[in-house]
Structure 1
Amino acid sequence: MESTAVSMPGRAHVAVFNVPMAGHVMPTLGVVRELVDRGHRVSYAVTREFESQVRAVGAEPVVYEAPPQGEAPEDMAQGVTGVLGVNLGALPQLEAAYAGDRPDVVLYDVYAWAGPLLAAQWKIPVVQLAPTHIPYDGLVQDFFGLADISLIPGFPELAQALASFGVPGGVHALTLSPPRCVAFFPKRFQRRAHTVAAGEVHWVGPVIGDRSFQGRWQAPEGAGQVVYVSLGSQFNRRPEFYRTCVEALAGPGRHVVLSVGEEVARTGIGPVPAGVEVHAGVPQMDVLAAASVFVTHGGMGSVMEALSVGVPMVVVPQMAEQRVNAEQVRDVGVGMYLPREEATADALREAVLALGSDERVAGAVARMREEIEAAGGAEVAAQVVEKVLADCPLAAR
């Protein structure tokens, strides 16, 4: 396999491993930039579609090939089995890419298991990067609808790989109790935080770096109240939902921005009235900065980006993990949970109108925004990595 990595100087070689999903790559890029700015050399293992984003933050892409993923299945057990296939397919490619270039520490996404497998082979420390809830009591049932994590199809194959690479504890230790973890959300948003079993946890909040590579967006003059609608990058083939949003939200004094994904943008959602924009994708932080309400699927990245700029949400989740996030949004008071089977035009309109005038929600959003700002972000995440390097001097060369 051909690596695109190019050697560059630095105090340590930090290797980041990720899966080809925007919601998992984007939260890490600000940490990578911080590590690069501190003088470290960072390599980043991911597929070619994310190569430009990785280069933009100063890291060296180490590109592996993976089959096209398409839209993720709503069944998370099925989805994780597919991600396992990506990892096992990437493993020999990454072994070859890093041959003779062993890193000093591995940072890995919660689903990028090639990272800890290779770290065990290299005998170097690991830090998990969590864009979603750290495992808590009940997560396996909430996310996967299973009694035990080992019942996920394909996990016997993962267990074999763990044993062959010398990773102790099997799939339970790997997936449910990582030794140290950096979470990209504040602790108060963590589901059942008191039951988390990870060894060392740092809730650093969302890390939102430079997004200029996404372009720019600005509300038209006199746009009025901006309402932003997005179902993210994985579950966005929902033209009926977008048409319902237009029916619910278009009208005088309101400007509606819909991010619908490439496929729906190509086929269209039918005629839209003035004051409605339909895009394949948008510079999300620009739109959120102008928005008064966000209608979202409830992916953790989107939720945290909205809260970081003080925008309340109507969450219409599309799968189990997003339902957990929707419940958290409701429970901490920063928005509303609207089950998708109840997301009629009338219900969406009422929810958006209610959020726009609810002072309790505005106060809760402001408090969560303060917690995000206090969590430390990229600086604290980089300090965690540097402490691991300091505590494991034999790892560094």
Structure 2
Amino acid sequence: MADFLFVPYSSHGHINPLLPVARELVARGDRVSVIVAPNFAPAVAETGARVLRLPTSSHVVVPERFDPVDSCRRLFKAFDDRRAIFAVLRGELRHRRPDLVVFDPMIPRVFRIAHDRGVPTVLFSTTYAQNEHVIASTVGRNLGAPVGDLLRRPWARRLHPWAVEAARDHELVLVNALPELQPAVRTFGERFRFLGPLTSSKTDHCGDLPWREIERRRVLLVSPGTVFARGPKFFGPVVEAFRDSDRLVVLATGPTDPESLGSLPSNVIARRRVPQAALLEHSDLFLTHAGMNSTLEALGAGVPMILVPRVLDQRVNARRVAELGAGIQLDAKWLHPVLLRHVAHRLTTDPSVRGAVERLKARIAGQDRPAAAATALQEAANGSCRAEVIS
């Protein structure tokens, strides 16, 4: 029996991929402990893992418009949250020595705390991996190729703490992404395991939604994610594009009150939160922020995407999906009903799009990826981590 201590970043996009892996390890008889914010504690407890609660809840919401006061508040809250994580981690390591500390690259200092106490670590990334080549390519697209080429030097790893920790020779790195979605995938060594989707595949018809209607109509699911808020200016063009059409539109508005969208046509449903995986099983199109979990869920369900990213990692995901032919990337500033109707028509009628989506769906189907992640962690805990890439 191995003993694992998970230190995730307490956010839906980071906790959700962890849950199936923790459940699998517990089912195999391993001991699993997770340091987590109270609002995620029930979900972690359901896996059978031991919950190490942080003192305060964590619910990150970034407003649609820049607000310096809100930004400062979130920054100070992030510092406080990390100090709490480090305090709980140090306290736990004073009393026992787990076989592995599995931590999120959003909290790189965990490596140093564990290393100082002689505990091996594994990185668990919920989006694509980073190294100097990925950094250089990303910077080069924004600041020009010469700047990007300069950052391909090994010292550039120090510009990104994730890459610094990932570069350590003794580490295993689990990546919640398909190799096809990983930028510069050939530049990563054998320690990187590109697992693909780890989020739950539960598709229960929960929530107060008209499931019979959903099952018989063409459905456009719209979800900008749980962190970055979108308001009426974002949802408005979508509503107008498909107003009174034969398509059913389901909006997941998140922090935005559905009432703020005004009177909606009969074919548009707005809820703060929806069971995304279940809805994707009945959707023929998905308008998404291109977060890694949402992207993988859509590909697993065989649904093409209108990709409207907001931050850097989402832009990288969106660009890659578009390059693979499974979606079209748009800028939120230029959303217009005519453009949305045109893009929706192309994505749902173009045979090349359907072929690309089906190929990626086939790559995901039929593999127990949480089990593969659990096996990799057990091997690392036993000191027999094999060199392979799950593909």
* Alpha-carbon contact 1:211-1:283 (below 8 Å) kept: no
2:273 partner letter: G
Q: How does 1:129-278 map to 2 (within 5 A)?
A: 129-136=124-131, 137-139=133-135, 142=138, 148=156, 150=158, 173-174=164-165, 179-196=171-188, 200-209=191-200, 211=202, 215-216=206-207, 219-221=211-213, 223-261=216-254, 263-265=255-257, 267-278=259-270
Partners in 1 of 2:367 and 2:76 — Cα distance?
A: 33
Partners in 2 of 1:190 and 1:80 — Cα distance?
A: 29
* Aligned match of 1:40: 30
TM-score normalised by L of structure 2: 0.83
Partners in 2 of 1:305 and 1:371 — Cα distance?
A: 13
CA-to-aligned-CA distance 1:184-212 (integer Å, 9 cap, x gap): 1211111111123x560111110132658
* Alpha-carbon contact 1:87-1:113 (below 8 Å) kept: no
Q: How does 1:1-397 map to 2 (within 5 A)?
A: 11-65=1-55, 70-72=60-62, 83=78, 86-136=81-131, 137-139=133-135, 142=138, 148=156, 150=158, 173-174=164-165, 179-196=171-188, 200-209=191-200, 211=202, 215-216=206-207, 219-221=211-213, 223-261=216-254, 263-265=255-257, 267-373=259-365, 376-391=368-383
Task: Give RMSD over aligned pairs.
Answer: 3.1
* Alpha-carbon contact 1:28-1:207 (below 8 Å) kept: yes
Report how far residue 27 of structure 1 moved.
1.2
2:356 partner letter: A
* Alpha-carbon contact 1:16-1:106 (below 8 Å) kept: yes
* Alpha-carbon contact 1:226-1:292 (below 8 Å) kept: yes
Secondary structure at the counterpart of residue 298 of structure 1: coil
Partners in 2 of 1:300 and 1:190 — Cα distance?
A: 11
* Aligned match of 1:4: none
* Alpha-carbon contact 1:205-1:375 (below 8 Å) kept: no
Gaps of at least 5 residues in structure 1 are 1-10, 156-170
* Alpha-carbon contact 2:205-2:278 (below 8 Å) kept: no
Gaps of at least 5 residues in structure 2 are 144-150, 386-391
Report how far residue 250 of structure 1 moved.
3.0
TM-score normalised by L of structure 1: 0.82
Q: Against the structure 1 CA distance between its residues 244 and 128, is the aligned structure 2 distance closer, same or farther, given a 3 Å change threshold?
A: same
* Alpha-carbon contact 2:243-2:265 (below 8 Å) kept: yes
Report how far residue 357 of structure 1 moved.
0.7
